[in-house]
Amino acid sequence: MQESRYGLRIALPIPYEDAIERTTAALKDQGFGVLTTIDVRETLKKKLDAEFRKYVILGACNPPLAKRALEAELDVGLLLPCNVVVYEDQPGRSIVAAMAPVAALGIVERNAALEEVARDAQARLQRALTALETGGRAEVKG
């Protein structure tokens, strides 16, 4: 797994459509549901008549974590849900990347309760991506 300043990223040797299905399942194993699905390729074609690679943005939400975050800081809803992207890197190979909730908090005033929720969310996203990368199921913790 690669980590950047704002996200977590893995490459999978599977087709795009399979990557979306497996990513959704791995997120579910960690308590996340997909609230929104934005097909970027379709949207750019429809709105701009522009071609783009297969690329989807999944708006993932873990309701208990979202509730805790909103109770800690009401305006944190601006950073929700956790975005996860899946795109075709090349035929038969897909990239899955998830936002890093801890990094996203860098723009929020220090709030210990919110930081705890972000660490929990990030650990769950990491477990989901690790399960995808290793072909296993991630154990749900907490």
CATH number at residue 122: 3.30.310.70
Residue 139 lies in a domain: no
Number of domains in the chain: 1
Q: What is the C-alpha separation between 106 and 21, in angstroms, rounded?
A: 31
Residue 140 lies in a domain: no
Residue 11's Cα: distance from chain center in Å? 14
Output the pLDDT for position 136: 64
Full domain range(s) for residue 8: 2-134
Q: What is the C-alpha separation between 86 and 11, in angstroms, rounded?
A: 10
Residue 97 lies in a domain: yes
- Closest Cα to residue 54, out of 82, 27, 80, 18? 18
Output the pLDDT for position 44: 98
Residue 142 lies in a domain: no
Residue 31 lies in a domain: yes
Residue 106 lies in a domain: yes
Query: pLDDT tens, position by position, for the chain (142 residues)?
Result: 999 989 999 999 999 999 999 999 999 999 999 999 999 999 999 999 999 999 999 999 999 999 999 999 999 999 999 999 999 999 999 999 999 999 988 887 788 999 999 999 999 999 999 999 998 655 555 4
Residue 40 lies in a domain: yes
